[in-house]
Chains A and B, each alone.
Chain A
Amino acid sequence: MTFFEHSDAEAQRLTAIPVAGDHATRGIVSGVATRWESTYLWLSQLYSMWPRLSVYVRSAALTPTQRRRRVSHRDSDKIRHLIAILTPIYEVTKACQSTSATLSDIFVMIVALRKTLLMDGIVTPKVPEHTLAGGAEAIASCLLENPDKDVSELDNRLYPCEAVYMAERDDAEALCNEAIVAVRIVGTEIDRMFFNRKDDTKNWLKNPEVLGEVLLSPGGGRMLREVGDWVGTGDPAAATEAAVLQTAAKLRPDSSVPVGSTPTGTTRRTDGISELRMTARSSLVLSQAEQPVLREPPVEAHGPHRVAREELALFRRLSEGAAAGDALSFRRAHQTQLSCPFLDAASSFGAAGSSASCERECSIAGRPASSNRSSLTVRSVEMHSLVAANADLVPTHTILVPFLSHEEAATFRQIMSAFVPYVTDAELEVYDSYTDEDKSEEDFNGPCRGTLALSQSCCSLFFLF
Chain B
Amino acid sequence: MELLATAADSYSGIPWVHVSIDLWTAPGSRLSYGAVALRDKDSQMLGTVEKSLGVLSCLGRHNQGNIVALQREVLRRVGLVDADIASTTTDSGSNFRKAEAEVDAPWVPCAAHALNVAVLRALGATGKSFDRRAERVARGGPAARRWIKV
Partners in one complex: yes
**How many B residues touch the partner, as a band?**
35 or more
Chain B residues contacting A102 (CB-CB under 8 Å) are 48
Cα-based distance from A261 to B97 in the complex (angstroms):
36
B99 beta carbon closer than 8 Å to chain A: no
For A39, A331, A351, the residue with the greatest tally of chain B CB atoms inside 10 Å of its CB is A351
Chain A residues contacting B134 (CB-CB under 8 Å) are 181, 185
* B55 and A368 within 8 A (CB): yes
A428 beta carbon closer than 8 Å to chain B: no
**Secondary structure of the A side of the interface?**
helix
Chain A residues contacting B45 (CB-CB under 8 Å) are 260-264
* B118 and A89 within 8 A (CB): yes
Cα-based distance from A40 to B60 in the complex (angstroms):
35
**How many A residues touch the partner, as a band?**
35 or more
* B115 and A93 within 8 A (CB): yes
* B114 and A352 within 8 A (CB): no
Partner of B43, one of A185, A258, A347, A366: A258
Cα-based distance from A150 to B112 in the complex (angstroms):
29
* A385 and B33 within 8 A (CB): yes
A127 beta carbon closer than 8 Å to chain B: no
A247 to chain B, nearest CB (A): 6
A97 beta carbon closer than 8 Å to chain B: yes
From known contacts A177-B144, A181-B138, A202-B109, infer whether A92 and B33 are also in contact, taking CB-CB under 8 Å.
Answer: no
Cα-based distance from A33 to B20 in the complex (angstroms):
21
B132 beta carbon closer than 8 Å to chain A: no
From known contacts A177-B148, A207-B106, infer whether A350 and B41 are also in contact, taking CB-CB under 8 Å.
Answer: yes
* A185 and B92 within 8 A (CB): no
Cα-based distance from A39 to B126 in the complex (angstroms):
13
Cα-based distance from A185 to B16 in the complex (angstroms):
37
Partner of B11, one of A36, A182, A345, A357: A345
A108 to chain B, nearest CB (A): 12
B82 beta carbon closer than 8 Å to chain A: no
B78 beta carbon closer than 8 Å to chain A: no
Residue of A nearest to B114 (CB): A193
Smallest CB-CB A-B distances: 3 pairs: A260-B46, A258-B43, A189-B118
Task: Write 27 A-B pairs (CB below 8 A) sorted by A numbering.
Answer: A37-B116, A82-B123, A99-B50, A102-B48, A185-B118, A185-B134, A190-B114, A190-B115, A193-B92, A193-B114, A201-B107, A255-B12, A257-B10, A262-B44, A264-B45, A349-B46, A350-B18, A352-B87, A353-B110, A354-B20, A355-B20, A355-B112, A355-B113, A356-B112, A361-B35, A368-B33, A385-B55
10 other A-B residue contacts (CB within 8 Å) besides A96-B111, A178-B140, A264-B45 = A36-B115, A201-B109, A251-B14, A255-B9, A258-B42, A354-B113, A361-B55, A368-B55, A375-B26, A437-B26
